[in-house]
Amino acid sequence: MAKLIPATERLIRARKLIQQARDVPLPEGGMGKRDFSYIAAVKDYLRQAKDMIKFISMTPTAIAEMKAEVKKIYTEVEQADEEILR
């Protein structure tokens, strides 16, 4: 059986995944940010961050502050996507 991860730990892990997306090294080749493997790596980290927090706000134990943090992380994911890939 899978181990349950507490919501607070999920929030922390999601932020770490966003930072890992920012830390993906830009390829040395001539394509730069248009390199498909670079785009895929960044998108994968950002998708994992979204998946990590996806159901937190739907749980009955989620308090208002936690729901606000979830919205904040979704905003951070969108900002990171804009900053990194565009």
Instruction: Give this prediction's pTM.
Output: 0.93
- Per DSSP, the three-state class of 63 is coil
For 86, other C-beta atoms within 10 Å of its C-beta total: 6
pLDDT digits (tens, 9 = 90+) for 33-74: 899 999 999 999 999 999 999 999 999 989 999 999 999 999
Q: Three-state DSSP class for 37?
A: helix
Is the confidence at residue 1, as pLDDT, over 80? no
The Cα 68–Cα 42 span in angstroms is 24
Q: Where are the domains of the chain?
A: 7-24+31-85
